[in-house]
Amino acid sequence: MTSTDRQYFVDLYASDPDPWRLATSWYERRKYALTVDALPNERYRRAFEPGCSIGVLSELLAPRCERLLITDIVSAVVEEASRRLKTFSHVVVEQRAIPDWWPAEIFDLIVLSEIAYYFDAATLEAIMDQVIQSTEGGAHVLAVHWRGETNYPLTGDQVHGLIDTCDQLQSVAHYSETNFVLDLWERVA
Ligand SMILES: C[S@@+](CC[C@H](N)C(=O)[O-])C[C@H]1O[C@@H](n2cnc3c(N)ncnc32)[C@H](O)[C@@H]1O
């Protein structure tokens, strides 16, 4: 299977505005808490979260960032994320699809939360090239993904294994339990 196309997500959100219960489930709330607590720096200057959905994780990342860019491929969720984050003037929300679009900026934090397994391995490698191009030494890259069975092109474990092969990223933290895997890497200079 190649990368998951936009229509899959448009149809999913048309049938349910929060199909993964991101805003209401204890599982997500706990995972988000572990995600933000895994970030070593108290503050980040410029952070990027592609595939933000309705912005629930973004809302927890926002207070830790001086500028936060969040994007999603589906316009309806971009509107919802904009509403959720409207009190944070330093958060920019855009409808964009990676890897076709990638910000021409340097970030000190990139968060890949429950998005990278929607791409095939070649596309994820291209995305990681973009991650490396848009970070400098000391930047943090965090990935967190569901480990269960899906019909996505990659499993969560495959995603994290592939990211771990990037020579420019050094593992800082690894956490895995039955349902999800979380890794933090630091960009080497
Ligand atoms: C499971 S949600 C994850 C949301 C959020 N990152 C979190 O962890 O709560 C995956 C999101 O990625 C978006 N998405 C899928 N492919 C994308 C792409 N190529 N570019 C940007 N967003 C994409 C989907 O529309 C969906 O909202």
pLDDT tens digits, residue range 82-98?
999 999 999 999 999 99
Residue 1, pLDDT > 80, answer: no
Pairing status of strand 65-72 against strand 180-187: unpaired
Determine, yes or no, domain membership for 5. Answer: no
Determine, yes or no, domain membership for 85. Answer: yes
Q: How far apart are CA 110 and CA 141, in angstroms?
A: 5
Residue-wise pLDDT tens digits, 26-81:
999 999 999 999 999 999 999 999 999 999 999 999 999 999 999 999 999 999 99
Q: How far is the CA of 168 from the centre of ligand 1 (A)?
A: 25
Determine, yes or no, domain membership for 7. Answer: no
- CB distance 50 to ligand 1 below 6 Å: yes
CATH code for the domain in which residue 37 is found: 3.40.50.150
- CB distance 56 to ligand 1 below 6 Å: yes
Determine, yes or no, domain membership for 170. Answer: yes
Residue 146, pLDDT > 60, answer: yes
Determine, yes or no, domain membership for 14. Answer: no
Residues 6+ apart with CB under 8 A from 164: 171, 183, 185
Determine, yes or no, domain membership for 162. Answer: yes
Domain range for 139 is: 26-187
Determine, yes or no, domain membership for 13. Answer: no
Domains in the chain, number: 1
- Report yes or no: 92 and 64 within 8 Å, Cβ to Cβ: no
Determine, yes or no, domain membership for 110. Answer: yes
Residue 4, pLDDT > 90, answer: no
Which residue's CA is the closest to the ligand 1 atom numbered 3? 114
Q: What is the mean pLDDT of residues 156-180?
A: 98
Q: How remote is the C-alpha of 135 from its chain's centroid?
A: 15
Residue 2, pLDDT > 80, answer: no
Q: How far apart are CA 129 and CA 50, in angstroms?
A: 15
